[in-house]
Structure 1
């Protein structure tokens, strides 16, 4: 079998081993280098040879996870770290004179570093990193600092289209003490980089961006995160049960008034709907600046349920009236509309249900109206109310539901 040629990575590894075997730095070599570098070093002075020139600070952000989005407090909690890079002119050396030492590691408190702070945070301004953080410094003076933080930032929340809402949050960093003439921020990436990112169970990241603001007074960088809420949980556990309860409340108009169960059924469905609303109210985001369309939908469904309860009460009152004499023209009109719609539905010229018939089409309208009013009973009125209210409220309910989904999903 032919032997495989070594890859480029293998060659680099072999050469590095040869280099290590030839050149070996001792603690005395590193100690000597640090003694020379810090002989006249002061971490309170900007490390630039020409103090009239600014230090160029490259800022990147690496995101681990989106921990939480608090709608009530309008707070975004994320976990990640910053990648800060700048050049320290006072920490440069020639590796050939220092036994081939190309890089050293020092605690962050030992050298100068920019006072970069979180501008739109919830807590007081604190120093990035900590005493246990080490910075890497190359022989060219390039300093690399990666402070890890849990960022709690303010974020304006708009819940109008909940649970299909998108939220745009900013994470802003600013050099607090130095002006833009002393420390200027740049960026090497167009947005936020992901480092071993863990997906959030409620929110997914749609896009990221970064922007730099520069003026004569301050220099700051803003990282923008656009989040999309995952709606499946809220649709399955909130919207669909409400839609089903709304349709169940309309079935009261199918229950005959003589059955004696119309009122009890209506009250039972209304109470079930009210109890369910109290349960899901805890799941709705609280925000006084914007109101969710879903909240309006729930209120409308509750009002429809109350309207169904009122109509059912009036129906039972009318159904058990004994005499139909002196019936108002309003109830007569309801029966006429019911008969007309039934005729249209059945493709007939005219129809009735044990009420009246039109035997002679040559009769004038007054005679037909008089015969109709004389034959109408209160049971016919309640049947007409059942028919009209069921189809009317069904169309209203379906229309509201379709509007809700089309409006909030099309946002």
Structure 2
């Protein structure tokens, strides 16, 4: 029984030592707090020698990136900063205070740096709040951890959207004091990903910390290099636009006599216009830099309109009577189409006309002459053939250039 009591006593003593408080009572802590704050003036910098500067150790604990607003050029992040400094006016000897090695005080009860967010998007306000406590050690080391949802300005370059990369800064500045009064040291922690939750659209590639202590300014800047995840935009924007561009070319495969050529062309163009109206709301709005994808969509719209115009002219030519003479321009188009198809013109017309009739009559001559006749249906067929391959080649080159340019960064 005595052994059990002894073990319990040792356990209690050990727990007290682990907590750095040798069984201090609430009265002891309250007395220590009263002793420290008696004659304490929070308007005075916490240094015995006022000619020295209060040195701040600031680290940023990033919990997550809430959103990146390209239109408003705003970055919204969640996290807290950990600020540490030495308050020489809040020190005590733990041995004389029942081994109390630290206490918690309200942040407004002691001196603290007037640290503010320099490039904030909301109103200019101090960090923290009335409900925040600071940890004060017996050696005067103060730890302050204000938690915030930071809204900061961030200049956006959307030229390579949706494969763009953005560089955003979160800058903290000591507003009232000059650098010789309050300075920022090289942070011991830097930018820490404390319980960081990955964003579904943006990933953090790298970070950087910059300290500026010059003249009247003492500021600390945390730089985030962000990269957009393009999968959503590729699947829901780029691929449908490419498919519509291919569908618009199929109008040149439909025969002019089918009667659906013009209706198909108009339907595809209207579908293109409706789709572009829908996805234009998803594209970032920025007057300083324009997304190359926007130019690509405009060019696709121009191609669709050009196909519609060509189809209208083509149908007009197709229903012309053969009594109208065919201009040499259209004859050259037909001959070019025959050369590309390797029909008739694989051998020159001169050699064909020199073929002598086999049976001594003019039937073969008439047949050769009829083969060389060109009517308006031949002209429209040649236009279909040439336009299909020209637009297909141009669309393919444009699309390849688009992806090569966007992903080259």
Instruction: Compute the TM-score of the two structures, normalised by the length of structure 1.
Output: 0.89
User: Where does residue 237 of structure 1 map in the other structure?
Assistant: 236
* Separation in 1, partners of 2:62, 2:105: 25
User: Where does residue 119 of structure 1 map in the other structure?
Assistant: 118
Task: Report the 3-state secondary structure (helix = DSSP H, G, I; strand = E; otherwise coil) of the residue aligned with 1:242.
Answer: helix
The within-5 A match list for 1:306-317 is: 306-317=305-316
Deviates more, 1:25-34 or 1:261-270: 25-34
1:2-32 Cα distance to aligned partner (Å, 9 max, x none) = xxxxxxxxxxx99842636992101221122
* Mapped pair 1:109 → 2:125: no
* Separation in 2, partners of 1:285, 1:351: 57
* Mapped pair 1:359 → 2:343: no
In the alignment, is the contact (CA less than 8 A) between 1:60 and 1:192 conserved in 2? yes
Task: Report the 3-state secondary structure (helix = DSSP H, G, I; strand = E; otherwise coil) of the residue aligned with 1:195.
Answer: coil
Structure 1 position 33, deviation (Å): 1.6
User: Where does residue 364 of structure 2 map in the other structure?
Assistant: none
1:208-247 Cα distance to aligned partner (Å, 9 max, x none) = 1110112121110001111111111111111111100100
User: Where does residue 387 of structure 1 map in the other structure?
Assistant: 385
Structure 1 position 35, deviation (Å): 2.6
In the alignment, is the contact (CA less than 8 A) between 1:108 and 1:134 conserved in 2? yes
CA gap of 1:278–1:20, structure 2 versus 1, over 3 A, is: closer
In the alignment, is the contact (CA less than 8 A) between 1:324 and 1:377 conserved in 2? no
* Separation in 1, partners of 2:45, 2:33: 19
* Separation in 2, partners of 1:14, 1:202: 52
User: Where does residue 255 of structure 2 map in the other structure?
Assistant: 256
1:40-78 Cα distance to aligned partner (Å, 9 max, x none) = 211000001110100000111001111111111111111
User: Where does residue 155 of structure 1 map in the other structure?
Assistant: 154
In the alignment, is the contact (CA less than 8 A) between 1:85 and 1:142 conserved in 2? yes
1:117-169 Cα distance to aligned partner (Å, 9 max, x none) = 00001122212111110000111100000000010110001111111111111
* Separation in 1, partners of 2:223, 2:371: 71
User: Where does residue 83 of structure 2 map in the other structure?
Assistant: 84
The within-5 A match list for 1:210-225 is: 210-225=209-224
In the alignment, is the contact (CA less than 8 A) between 1:191 and 1:208 conserved in 2? no
In the alignment, is the contact (CA less than 8 A) between 1:60 and 1:187 conserved in 2? no
* Separation in 2, partners of 1:361, 1:46: 110
1:240-286 Cα distance to aligned partner (Å, 9 max, x none) = 11100100010010001111111111111111111111111111111
1:275-303 Cα distance to aligned partner (Å, 9 max, x none) = 11111111111111111100000000000
Structure 1 position 207, deviation (Å): 1.2
User: Where does residue 326 of structure 2 map in the other structure?
Assistant: 327
* Mapped pair 1:295 → 2:297: no
Structure 1 position 39, deviation (Å): 2.4
Task: Report the 3-state secondary structure (helix = DSSP H, G, I; strand = E; otherwise coil) of the residue aligned with 1:82.
Answer: strand
1:162-196 Cα distance to aligned partner (Å, 9 max, x none) = 11111111000000000000000123257421111
In the alignment, is the contact (CA less than 8 A) between 2:160 and 2:292 conserved in 1? yes
* Separation in 2, partners of 1:221, 1:134: 23
User: Where does residue 335 of structure 2 map in the other structure?
Assistant: 336
CA gap of 1:335–1:104, structure 2 versus 1, over 3 A, is: same
* Separation in 2, partners of 1:357, 1:377: 20
Q: What is the root-mean-square deviation of aligned Cα atoms in Å? A: 2.4
**Which one of the candidate residues 346, 351, 355 is aligned to 1:350?**
346
* Separation in 1, partners of 2:392, 2:152: 46
In the alignment, is the contact (CA less than 8 A) between 2:73 and 2:154 conserved in 1? yes
Structure 2: 5+ residue stretches without partners: 1-10, 357-368
Structure 1 position 357, deviation (Å): 8.4
User: Where does residue 26 of structure 2 map in the other structure?
Assistant: 27
In the alignment, is the contact (CA less than 8 A) between 1:162 and 1:292 conserved in 2? yes
In the alignment, is the contact (CA less than 8 A) between 1:203 and 1:227 conserved in 2? yes
In the alignment, is the contact (CA less than 8 A) between 2:338 and 2:345 conserved in 1? no
* Mapped pair 1:43 → 2:42: yes
In the alignment, is the contact (CA less than 8 A) between 1:190 and 1:210 conserved in 2? no
CA gap of 1:160–1:37, structure 2 versus 1, over 3 A, is: same
In the alignment, is the contact (CA less than 8 A) between 1:80 and 1:149 conserved in 2? yes
In the alignment, is the contact (CA less than 8 A) between 1:263 and 1:309 conserved in 2? yes
CA gap of 1:38–1:337, structure 2 versus 1, over 3 A, is: same
* Separation in 2, partners of 1:397, 1:264: 22
Structure 1 segments of 4+ aligned residues over 4 angstroms from their partners = 360-363, 371-374
